[in-house]
Structure 1
Amino acid sequence: MQNQPNRMVPVLYGTFVMTMIAVLPLVNFINLFFCAGIILGGIAGVFSYNRQIAGTDIPLTSKDGVMIGILSGILAGIFVSLINFLFMLMSKHNPVDEALKLMNDFALPPEVTVQMNKFSDEFNKYGFSPTISIVSLFSNLVIYPLFGMLGAILGVSIIKKRNKKNIL
């Protein structure tokens, strides 16, 4: 039986790429283009795994890519949520108040204003909003694995297409 390659290193590599793109200022604008930074993290994880298995006769499968993309996305979603939470705690201003001031020019329904005021009160009371933090964590745990998986599948197909050209 062949030794299976360590898939944790590519997962961590993909996680690192996703997290850095998400939290670094200006670089995080990449995610405005259909979560391209998360997709790039999935691709990076698959390319790292492909380098690891290059000298062996272990084939790169879509299953490997899906697993690397999903696991990278889960870890990146947790790390990004944690980093955003820490930035919220270190910040001295209430971002919800600033958002309310900016949105005064728009005709918002009263329910939105009431909910925004609740979030603002949470920021004033705790220094962060537990509701926003929890919603952010759950949304990151859906978005990051989904787009990480898409990126990893894209990476597998790029590698397979490139390998077919090399064979022919």
Structure 2
Amino acid sequence: MEFHGLKFTSPALAVLDLIPRHGGNAIDEALRRRVVTLPQLWRALELTPGRRGNSLRRALLEDSRDLPWSEAERLLHRHLRAGEYPWPFVTNHPFTLTDGRRIYFDAAIRELRLGFEADGYEHHGPRAAFERDRDRDSDLAAQGWASHRFTAAFLQHRPEETRSRMTSIIKHRIRELGL
């Protein structure tokens, strides 16, 4: 980028430069903070062909198509994409709790009023987070939504069981709603 004759790197290129060292976390953090958009990242990659590490960058950008906000969410989205479900899932789905707080499902199937969460210990381990998560889940249930949590470790180390459970949860929810 150029501004008054001075050349600067773009935020998208800076994120791409961080990928070899930080992997998908560089993309996730930038998207969560709304510093860049996925199309801007793709454009920056197109403008820098032949760079070492571009195959990794391209693979991670492709894997970011559902706009994960963390590595755990990236895994959750991968598992949901691998399943063949009758309804599509949406990511970072906004929802308003009864007290007016705005929350976001990591992934949701709106037609089933079903949400999935990918919980890492870093953000969900402290007591306050534990309490907040339980309060949120009971509020969602009171509004007719079902929310299911998977730990990041479970998503990463038990992929077959993760997908099997997701399929069972979805099938159960379909029966529960009479669809």
User: TM over 0.5, yes or no?
Assistant: no
Q: Which has the higher helix share?
A: 1
Q: Which has the larger radius of gyration?
A: 1
Q: Which has the higher strand share?
A: 2
